[in-house]
Amino acid sequence: MCGILAVLGVADVSLAKRSRIIELSRRLRHRGPDWSGIHCYQDCYLAHQRLAIVDPTSGDQPLYNEDKSVVVTVNGEIYNHEELKANLKSHKFQTASDCEVIAHLYEEYGEEFVDMLDGMFAFVLLDTRDKSFIAARDAIGICPLYMGWGLDGSVWFSSEMKALSDDCERFISFPPGHLYSSKTGDGTTHHGFLKAFPPPRTILFFSDRALRRHAIIKRLMTDVPFGVLLSGGLDSSLVASVVSRHLAEAKVAAQWGNKLHTFCIGLKGSPDLRAAKEVADYLGTVHHELHFTVQEGIDALEEVIYHVETYDVTTIRASTPMFLMSRKIKSLGVKMVLSGEGSDEIFGGYLYFHKAPNKKEFHEETCRKIKALHLYDCLRANKSTSAWGVEARVPFLDKNFINVAMDIDPEWKMIKRDLGRIEKWVLRNAFDDEEKPYLPKHILYRQKEQFSDGVGYSWIDGLKDHANEHVSDSMMMNASFVYPENTPNAARLTVPGGPSVACSTAKAVEWDAAWSKNLDPSGRAALGVHDAAYEDTLQKSPASANPVLDNGFGPALGESMVKTVASATAV
């Protein structure tokens, strides 16, 4: 993942201002350690920190059209760039970068070209001919983007808040699937396919081909070493299985060989480590098993919050092991990984979906979950890996695949244990090949284990103990008096909140009356569903009543995270 920073319409055009923007752009260098670039045009600046994945030798940014009248700084990957280039025969391309096509598409089609892009992206484009600009973010929000406003009337865009917080009076998370145009200047408008999910068209057949063709194989577009994050759960195991099955026929095999590298992290003896090793052995991958301790995770918390820029409990719990794993992955020379995020949202894989009362509620909850991914799993996967200059690609969030999967009759996604249908049954069934199995049967039908649980139950339990040991309820009650000048403002508004059980939305908590007494995002909070669920008698402390600051860490650590995320946005 790269880092972008764009500042448009500044009042000060001095060399000092240029130096300041370069300084702010350096705060994103962890995202793109391979090269830095900046384009200045009058009172507009487009800066870029590059992680070179495609065309490492000539694809430095910003990128341009032929006469450099159109300038673009991009974070992301455009998987259909070769197809798009083939339709731009009158244009001359200067690089082999997949992102250069954006400048030429704009020149050819204007702002309407965004819907033509198939990939993950966040970009800002400047048209120097009339000094207009646009900014856009992919439909799911896989790539992060923030928008801010300076007191001088300037408009700012950045991959992370830390480049905006000191110089912007206000900033927001740029909404996924939206485009901002300076020509209208009245806010963002929808692009793409997530304006609203229509009712499913009741597709009754779902095959493995949908995932293979639409999602996984196209993401092997890379000129650098890559691997797969393998937790041993269904989603990551399917990705690893499909990649290993098709790697030999992919272009990347000629460069880096046809032996797939897989990576897993956990506390010693954790469920994920055992399952991942079994899958890796079955697939014959070069497997890297990484370990961490509870204390190492706790020691990394402040740094994790700085990079991930949230104090959402579920996100921090899962980001910490992913952050530690990404550092090891980068040390091995790998710059791109495929990961399994998104499947649980699309297919209703979280254990609380067992309690969905009907298919309508089930479908509406999956829609809510998908539309919130940019605040949770997408943010975690992107920022935990990019903290160490590693790019995470998420095949399940391919827009074509989502369109197919969300057209399935929700009745087939419903969990019906009396019929032998566990969570994500429709996906498991599609890959249940008796003649040429993708996975061992017990792995294919392994119960859902959330990442922060799967790395070892002691990780979450250790975090709770740490919070209880270091911050008391009385400290929490008086926090607003102790830190009156460091209360998060714009940064806090980017962090979601609300009650949750096993990663549910607040609405889904209503499905079971008992859940309101056990608000915890861990999968083990799904009482009566998870094989290792918490005791039914577990009660939430009355002092932990604030759902934004708690949700399972305890009130104390929640408040400390509020403080940390505010200070973390400023270096």
- Condensed to tens digits (0 to 9), the pLDDT of residues 343-380 reads 999 999 999 999 999 999 999 999 999 999 999 999 99
Which residues are bridge partners to 286 per DSSP? 261
* DSSP SS3 for 296: helix
Binding residues for ATP, by number, are 229, 265, 339-340
Comparing 257-261, 353-357, 565-569, which segment has the lowest mean pLDDT?
A: 565-569
Active-site positions read 2
Which of 119, 145, 118, 565 minimizes the C-alpha distance to 374?
A: 145
- On whether both 278 and 417 belong to a single domain, the answer is yes
Give the domain-ending residue among 436, 461, 486: 461
- On whether both 245 and 366 belong to a single domain, the answer is yes
- On whether both 256 and 186 belong to a single domain, the answer is no
pTM over 0.75: yes
User: Is the pLDDT at 294 greater than 60, yes or no?
Assistant: yes
- On whether both 44 and 110 belong to a single domain, the answer is yes
- On whether both 176 and 266 belong to a single domain, the answer is no
Q: Is residue 533 part of a domain?
A: no
Q: Is residue 486 part of a domain?
A: no
Q: Is residue 441 part of a domain?
A: yes
| Contact status, residue 78 vs residue 121, Cβ threshold 8 Å | yes
Binding residues for L-glutamine, by number, are 98
Binding residues, by number, are 98, 229, 265, 339-340
Give the domain-ending residue among 168, 190, 212: 190
Q: Is residue 405 part of a domain?
A: yes
- On whether both 79 and 161 belong to a single domain, the answer is yes
- On whether both 166 and 242 belong to a single domain, the answer is no
B/e letters for 80-97, b = 16+ CB within 10 Å, e = fewer, are bbeebbeeeeebebebbb
User: Is the pLDDT at 548 greater than 50, yes or no?
Assistant: no
Helix, strand and coil in the chain, % to nearest 5: 40, 15, 40
Comparing 151-160, 289-298, 432-441, 462-471, which segment has the lowest mean pLDDT?
A: 462-471
Which of 319, 354, 325 minimizes the C-alpha distance to 533?
A: 354
- On whether both 280 and 319 belong to a single domain, the answer is yes
Q: Is residue 212 part of a domain?
A: no
Residue 203 per-residue DSSP state:
B
Q: How many domains does the chain have?
A: 2
- On whether both 403 and 262 belong to a single domain, the answer is yes
User: Is the pLDDT at 69 greater than 90, yes or no?
Assistant: yes
Return d(Cα 347, Cα 405) in angstroms, integer: 8
Q: Which CATH number belongs to the domain containing residue 293 in this structure? A: 3.40.50.620
Q: Which CATH number belongs to the domain containing residue 14 in this structure? A: 3.60.20.10
Tokens matching residue 331: 């040390």
Q: Is residue 19 part of a domain?
A: yes
Backbone angles phi, psi at 445, to 5 degrees: -115, 30
pLDDT of the residue at 458: 84
- On whether both 276 and 423 belong to a single domain, the answer is yes
pLDDT of the residue at 530: 66
**Across 411-432, average pLDDT:** 92
Length of the chain measured in residues? 571
The residue with greater pLDDT, 384 or 258, is 384
Residue 270 per-residue DSSP state:
-
- On whether both 90 and 236 belong to a single domain, the answer is no
* DSSP SS3 for 36: strand
Return d(Cα 391, Cα 53) in angstroms, integer: 8
Name the pLDDT band for 495 (thresholds 50, 70, 90): confident
Element holding 171 (H helix, E strand): strand 170-173
- On whether both 175 and 225 belong to a single domain, the answer is no
Q: Is residue 73 part of a domain?
A: yes
Mean of the per-residue pLDDT values of the chain: 87
Return d(Cα 255, Cα 399) in angstroms, integer: 28
pLDDT of the residue at 566: 40
Structural domain of 68:
3-190
**Across 219-245, average pLDDT:** 95
Give the domain-ending residue among 429, 461, 493: 461
